[in-house]
Amino acid sequence: MKRQKPRAALPAGLTLLGGGTMPTPPSPDQATLEAFPNPAPTRGYQVTFDCPEFTSLCPVTGQPDFAHIIITYWPNKQCVESKSLKLYLGSFRNQGCFAETIVNRILDDVVACCRPRRAVITGRFTPRGGIGIEVTATYPHE
């Protein structure tokens, strides 16, 4: 019988990782983005989260909106923890928001979470009525 290695202790401040099944928060205001110490804080590198199944609601019609969200950031002292990001993005599912609001909110929340050197958030919203929308927001603001 193989002996299992003991689980490494989680970095301080991480409450969602390793907590088993977690319910999706009902709104972004009730979601928590968590961060952990950057393992290579002196090196410049980029992290990209590819989120092709993002959903929200049209604030006017209440119909579902679908998007491909791409989050790219260059860590400074902290990195975004991916499980908390998954739950955070899922919390938009029942929120009525315009595409521009969503992308800028995600940027603001990522910046508040980990204070990156740079961040770029792009939302490619699926066409409805024949028009797709792509919104890109950057930090620092260009």
CA atoms within 13 A on the CB side of 27: 5
Active site residue 113: no
Question: What is the separation of C-alpha 100 from the centre of its chain, rounded to a whole number of angstroms?
Answer: 15
Which residue in the list 29, 50, 51, 58 is annotated as catalytic?
58
Active site residue 58: yes
Of 22, 19, 18, nearest to 8 by C-alpha is 18
Strands (E), 10-94: 35-37, 47-57, 64-74, 78-80
CA distance 133 to 30: 27
Of 76, 52, 67, nearest to 103 by C-alpha is 67
Which residue in the list 29, 50, 51, 65 is annotated as catalytic?
65
Torsion angles phi and psi, residue 115, rounded to 5: 45, 60
Active-site positions? Answer: 58, 65
